[in-house]
């Protein structure tokens, strides 16, 4: 997706995932699309710019780019930033991965990366207002200009996947969620994080991800014809979805997004009221 000099996209194992029905809301500077579920690029970094990632309703760490200064060695006029892991302690990080989910009492769904993460459902209405549960299936990236105001010790993010949903969540066709992958530990002393004050909101990129069946059901993605082939080892006939759109067939069964309501101005400005602690680009490069 692209908005002015900023662009953002999702990859899985290095494969760029296709986007569907990209829409732009100019009044709130929000770009939304149907996508599988983070990288972002700025063409001209003329002011200090930061990106803040939020997945499934949970805040992850941020990245900041200083303004381009030709007199400073290594200063970047344009740059691509990648959010591929969450700092869970000063010396360790965990990758972000898709995990399949199933509701209690439902059949287990096969997923190519991790074993299913089981949601237990409840009729307790308190879970209807769980903000994180409401945002499962959504990846948002908020990009804004900032003022760098200081430094602080580097700390981790308390990232906890939602484990309980209200029974009504079954209607949303949620089949996957993002959780933490393998832990990577570094013995190096981490550099300090920088503290920034938000200044001007540029854009919020919102990626939606849902199962292929959910998208087929509402007509977002056409259902592909099934082809028959013979299984030489088992002697049975099976149906397989052919490769489409240049996407590696390994990723055919991954979630491929549904449209979400454009977030409103209150959602955008919620983070603008306090200073934020985010990691400098130098730490991100060391991964």
Least confident of 7-16, 228-237, 259-268: 259-268
Residues 76-126: tens digit of each pLDDT: 999 998 888 888 888 898 887 776 654 444 333 322 223 334 444 444 554
Closest CA to 255 of 20, 2, 7: 20
String of DSSP letters for 172-200: GT--EEEEEEEEEE--SPPPPEEEEEEEE
Instruction: Show Cβ contacts of residue 271 under 8 Å, excluding neighbours closer than 6 positions.
Output: 52, 142, 198
Pairing assessment for the beta strands 30-35 and 19-25 based on DSSP bridges = antiparallel
pLDDT at 222: 62
Residue 26 pLDDT level (bands cut at 50, 70, 90): low
pLDDT at 48: 94
Residues 147-205: tens digit of each pLDDT: 999 999 988 888 877 666 655 555 555 666 777 778 888 878 888 888 999 999 999 99
Per domain, the residue ranges of the chain are 2-285
Least confident of 95-104, 216-225, 232-241, 262-271: 262-271
Q: Between the ranges 68-72, 114-118, 272-276, where is the mean pLDDT highest?
A: 68-72
Question: What does the alpha-carbon distance between residue 222 and residue 240 come to, in Å, rounded to a whole number?
Answer: 15
String of DSSP letters for 43-111: S---S-EEEEEEETTEEEEEEEEPPP-TTSTT--SSEEEE--EEEEETTEEEEEEEEEEEETTSPPPP-
C-alpha distances in Å from residue 273, one per residue of 121, 198, 209, 211, 266? 35, 8, 29, 36, 11
pLDDT at 25: 61
Closest CA to 81 of 268, 256, 282: 282
Pairing assessment for the beta strands 85-89 and 79-82 based on DSSP bridges = unpaired
Q: Are 38 and 141 in contact (CB under 8 A)?
A: yes
Question: What does the alpha-carbon distance between residue 175 and residue 103 come to, in Å, rounded to a whole number?
Answer: 9
Does the model's pTM come out above 0.75? no
């Amino acid at each position: 997706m692209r908005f002015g000099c900023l662009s953002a996209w999702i990859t899985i194992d290095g494969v760029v995932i296709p986007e569907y029905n990209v829409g732009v809301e100019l009044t709130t500077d929000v770009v939304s699309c149907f996508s599988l579920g983070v990288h972002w690029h700025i063409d001209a970094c003329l002011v200090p710019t930061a990106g803040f990632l939020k997945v499934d309703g949970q805040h992850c760490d941020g990245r900041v780019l200083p303004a381009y200064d030709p007199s400073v060695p290594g200063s970047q006029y344009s740059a691509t930033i990648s959010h591929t892991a969450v700092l869970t302690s000063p010396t360790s990080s965990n990758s972000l991965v898709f995990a399949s989910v199933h509701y209690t009492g439902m059949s287990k769904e096969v997923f190519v990366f991790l074993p299913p993460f089981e949601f237990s459902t409840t009729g307790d209405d308190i879970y209807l207002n769980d903000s994180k549960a409401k945002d499962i299936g959504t990846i948002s990236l908020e990009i804004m200009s900032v003022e760098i105001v200081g430094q602080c010790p580097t700390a981790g993010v308390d990232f906890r996947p939602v484990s309980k949903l209200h029974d009504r969540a079954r209607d949303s066709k949620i089949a996957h969620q993002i959780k933490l992958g393998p832990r990577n530990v570094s013995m190096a002393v981490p550099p300090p994080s920088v503290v920034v004050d938000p200044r001007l909101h540029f854009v919020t990129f919102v990626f939606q991800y849902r199962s292929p069946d959910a998208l087929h059901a509402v007509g977002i993605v056409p259902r592909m014809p099934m082809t028959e082939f013979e299984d030489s080892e088992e002697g049975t006939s099976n149906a397989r979805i052919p490769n489409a759109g240049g996407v590696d067939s390994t990723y055919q069964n991954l979630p491929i997004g549904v449209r979400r309501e454009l977030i409103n101005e209150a959602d955008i400005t919620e983070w603008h009221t306090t200073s934020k602690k985010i990691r400098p680009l130098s730490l991100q490069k060391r991964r």
